[in-house]
Chains A and B, each alone.
Chain A
Amino acid sequence: MRLLRHLAADDFKQRLARGELPVRVGPYIYNVQSNLPSVVEGFAILYGDFQIAEPGEFVDYNVAIVHSGLLQRIRGKAKFLFDRRSPFDSIPAGQAYAFLEWGMNWCVSVHANEYLTLHAAAVSRGDRAIIMPGTPGAGKSTLCAALGLNGWRILSDEHALIRPDTAQIIPLCRPVSLKNESIEVIKSFSSEAIFGPVSKETHKGVVTHMKADLHADSHDTKPLRAKAMVFPRYARDEPQRLSPRRRTDSFILAAYHSFNYSLLCEAGFEAMKTLIENIDCFDLVYHDLNFALNAVNDLPDRHSGI
């Protein structure tokens, strides 16, 4: 088993430039190509412990971040490519790393329909997985990063992949995206957090990524059973609380947070129904990270249905 960090720096750089670096990410293999220095650097920091796929394995997603021509290079622009086509407009080269991560998210959001996919962070401890859906700004990534730095295993900060008709979640561990104030929050929360390049002035503000595979089992691909769904909401002026949530409301909210609930149609409904029936749901309102951590640590083991 060869990890990215086992490659010599030059070899790593050349393979990335040529697009010959297939990396195993959860159930998928990404082939990544880039010759932009920030991307080379960020990828080395954040993906060092990821496995290189064997030659001849089927590649799921061919992605690249490159300058597409001299004019782009002069104007400091780059393009994200998927299968050599660019689904997005060009981007300032200074935001290239953030766009690589977003592009890699996009691959899963748009193409992975063998699972019910929720826009959610997911973490586990022992055999107990917790799904945390959240609208932007709800604090799911911040909470996910803090849990990861606190002994929890990060399964994903973006996609909870649910195997249809089970309550099983498929791990897809990739760097955690942190925005604006949450970067400082996590930096002061733990000195052990490792960060990739900072992208400024993106449409989401300042963005950086935190190395997420901090757990011994981070790259294990075995499905885990979800036990609870927690809807975090960061609110400075409200009393902090963890409160049970009705399943029916949770179903609707989780469907809203799904990438492919309506695409899967009846199968999506059935998958969501099975999931929600087999887990407990909670609202978590917080402004103090330690309160949130304790709340998640102390989640009641099996809540009776409400």
Chain B
Amino acid sequence: MSFLLQQILLEPRLAVQLNNELLNQLLSQARSARLLATLAHQLQNKAVDAQLPATVQRHLQSAILIHEKQKRDLAFDGETIRQVLDSVGERLVLLKGAAYMLAELPAGHGRLITDIDILVPQQRIGAVEKALNESGWNSSYANTYNERYYRNWSHEIPPLTNRKRGTTLDVHHNVLPPTARPNVNACLFFDRLIEIKPGIFTLSWQDMVIHSATHLFHEGEFQHGLRDLWDMDRMLRDFPGRDPLFWEGLVSRARELELQVSLFHGLTYAEQLFGTPLPEGIIEDTGTWATSLRKPVMDFLFSRAFRPDHPQCKLPYTNLALTILYVRSHLLRMPLYLLGPHLARKAWMRLFDDDGGSHQGLKREEL
């Protein structure tokens, strides 16, 4: 069962047939999925945007302007961070949206980001954090429960915010928390980095896809689910052209990183929602008897999670599915004896600290 945004992303020309009410739904779905600039880019690419009403065009154009501004800011902030890391002898390794955008990948076209994610070798975290602190990147979580949580149980340090620019920087030392079941050896990523600009690196094309899938299927909240799946689709269509051996080593690489289950889900749902062309047999290669046994349940859950939070998109039992996925993500992240107290604490904070102790005003994800 497809929905409007999905149809138009894949077949932008259909947009000219939509009436105002459907166009309103389309833009609304795209905004809530954080895909408005991506949609705008797709429409522009096929020269469809000029045929839409002026009232619609101005929103698409505006989204593209926001994307372009983020790209300029990213280039500036990226260079600043590169210099700080360089001062302690580390390379700048970008992850996710920032990587797609600075590497000018199709996944970066119209991509919006809320923060810059980077990967640093675990043993260098202390030195890097100190250097960043001294250059105006500071955490607002000092001495809180959240800080202790990050330090003890997370694969990243508490988010750093640049005092002058307001940019948020997430410094990771791995792609999954140390308590998660797959035991990912993050050192492996550093052997295959790609230099996209002088001194600025991304993961290899294969690792980028595997990381994207891992992030997506270990996340507890799916506001960005569809957007992340779109990233996967764009990468899977683009990378085989950059590296003829892309498909060949993908599955074995995922196995080496112990992330083949995430890759299985990523490939499955990219194909299901966006018709991503995959080589014959690759899904069977990544799956096991256990994953295929669970597939009907996973289909039930993810077919709901990947829909924009919008009345026209919602399937029955969406809330149930989202709750199960939320709990699942935590079970994947930590064993039960750690998880119980953590979720209890979070629930308490949500009930009594109002909005989980976040600050008055704009929420972080909107910045």
Stretch at the interface among B52-60, B126-134, B190-198: B52-60
Asked whether B65 lies within 8 Å of A203 as measured between CB atoms, the reply is: no
Contact A85 B58 (CB under 8 A): no
B23 within 8 A of A: yes
The answer on a CB contact under 8 Å between B56 and A88 is no
Tell me if A301 counts as interface (CB < 8 A to partner B).
no
CB B80 to nearest CB in A, in angstroms, measures 17
By beta carbon, the residue of chain A nearest B351 is A71
B354 x A113 contact (CB < 8 A): no
Tell yes or no: A262 within 8 A of B by CB. yes
Rounded to whole angstroms, the CA-CA distance of A57 and B24 in the bound complex is: 9
Nearest residue (CB) in A for B356 is A89
Q: Is B362 an interface residue (CB 8 A)?
A: yes
A114 within 8 A of B: yes
Residues from chain B with a CB closer than 8 A to the CB of A90 are 354-355
User: 8 Å CB contacts to B: which residues of A248-263?
Assistant: 260, 262-263
- Chain A 84-111 interface mask (CB, 8 Å, partner B; 1/0): 1111111000000000000000000001
Q: Report how far A265 CA is from B28 CA in the complex, Å.
A: 27
Least Cβ distance of A203 to chain B in Å? 7
Chain B's interface: helix, strand, loop or mixed, by majority?
A: helix
Q: Quick check: A83 and B32 within 8 Å, CB to CB?
A: yes
- Distance between Cα atoms of A62 and B53 in the complex (Å): 18
**What residues of chain A lie closer than 8 Å to B23, measured between beta carbons?**
58
Q: Which of A57, A84, A89 contacts B354 (CB 8 A)?
A: A89
* Residue in B32, B53, B62 whose CB lies within 8 Å of A58: B53
- Are B62 and A113 interface neighbours, CB within 8 A? yes
Give the complex CA separation of A57 and B20 in angstroms. Answer: 6
Is the CB of B61 closer than 8 A to any CB of chain A? yes
CB pair B24 A58 closer than 8 Å: yes
Q: Mark B296-328, 1 if CB is under 8 A from A, else 0.
A: 000000000000011100000000000000000
Which chain A residues border B55 with CB–CB below 8 Å? 58, 60
The reply to whether A88 and B363 contact each other, CB–CB distance below 8 Å, is yes
What are the interface flags for B20-64 relative to A under an 8 Å C-beta threshold, 1 for contact and 0 otherwise?
Answer: 110110001001100000000000000000000101101101100
Measured in the bound complex, the distance between the Cα atoms of B310 and A82 in whole Å is: 11
- Which residues of chain B (51-84) have a CB below 8 Å from chain A? 53, 55-56, 58-59, 61-62, 65-66, 68-69, 72
Nearest to A56 among chain B residues (CB) is: B20
- Partner among B62, B69, B358, B366 whose Cβ is within 8 Å of the Cβ of A114: B62
Choice from A58, A71, A82 contacting B20 with Cβ under 8 Å: A58
A83 near B31: Cβ-Cβ < 8 Å = yes
Cβ-based interface call for A112 (8 A): yes
Chain A residue nearest to B62 (CB atoms) is: A113
Per the 8 Å Cβ criterion, residues 65-88 of A in contact with B are 71, 77, 82-88
Shortest CB distance A225–B (Å): 22
Contacts of A260 in B (CB 8 A): 65
Bound complex: CA A112 to CA B58 (Å)? 8
- Minimum CB–CB distance from A105 to chain B (whole Å) comes to 13
B69–A58 CB distance below 8 A:
no
Pair B69/A89 contact, Cβ less than 8 Å = no
- Please name all residues of chain B whose beta carbon is closer than 8 Å to the beta carbon of A265 when the two chains form the complex: 68-69, 72
Question: Cβ of A62 and Cβ of B28 under 8 Å apart?
Answer: yes
Confirm or deny: A185 has a beta carbon within 8 angstroms of a beta carbon on chain B.
Answer: no
Please report which residues of chain B, range 311-349, place their CB below 8 angstroms from some CB of chain A when the two chains form the complex.
311
- Chain B residues lying within 8 Å of A194, measured Cβ to Cβ, are none
Whether a CB of chain B sits under 8 angstroms from the CB of A264 is yes
> Which residues does chain B contribute within 8 Å of A86, judged by CB atoms?
363
Given the complex, which residues of A lie within 8 Å of B144, measured CB to CB? Answer: none
Cα A147 to Cα B247 with chains together (Å): 69
A-chain residues with CB within 8 Å of residue B360 when the two chains form the complex: 89, 203
The answer to whether A56 touches B21, judged by C-beta atoms less than 8 angstroms apart, is: yes
A111 to B65, CA, bound (A): 10
Bound-state CA distance A89–B365 (Å) is: 12
Residues of A within 8 A of B311 (CB): 84
Cβ of A3 < 8 Å from any Cβ of B?
no
Residue of A nearest to B31 (CB): A83
Alpha-carbon distance between A56 and B18 when the two chains are bound, in angstroms:
11
Q: Say how far A80's CB is from chain B's closest CB, in angstroms.
A: 11
Q: What distance in Å separates the Cβ of B69 from its nearest Cβ neighbour in chain A? A: 5
A113-B32 contact, Cβ under 8 Å, with A58-B23, A90-B354: no
Asked if B24 and A59 make an inter-chain contact with CB atoms under 8 angstroms apart, the answer reads yes
Interface residue from B21, B28, B355, B363 paired with A83 (Cβ < 8 Å): B28
Residue in A57, A62, A113, A203 whose beta carbon sits within 8 Å of that of B66 in the complex: A113
**What chain A residues lie within 8 Å of B69 (beta carbons)?**
262-263, 265
Q: Which of A71, A89, A263 contacts B65 (CB 8 A)?
A: A263
Q: Which residues of B contact A113 (CB under 8 A)?
A: 61-62, 65-66
With A58-B23, A83-B32, A114-B61 known, 11 other A-B pairs at CB within 8 A are A58-B53, A62-B24, A84-B28, A84-B309, A84-B310, A85-B31, A89-B354, A89-B359, A89-B360, A113-B62, A262-B69
Listed by A's residue number, 27 A-B pairs whose Cβ atoms lie within 8 Å are A56-B19, A58-B20, A58-B24, A58-B53, A59-B24, A60-B55, A62-B24, A62-B28, A77-B354, A83-B28, A85-B31, A85-B309, A87-B363, A87-B366, A88-B362, A89-B358, A89-B359, A89-B363, A90-B355, A111-B59, A112-B58, A112-B62, A113-B61, A113-B62, A265-B68, A265-B69, A265-B72
B interface residue numbers (CB < 8 A to A): 19-21, 23-24, 28, 31-32, 53, 55-56, 58-59, 61-62, 65-66, 68-69, 72, 223, 309-311, 351, 354-355, 358-363, 366
Q: Shortest 6 CB-CB distances between A and B: which pairs?
A: A113-B62, A58-B20, A114-B58, A263-B69, A58-B55, A87-B366
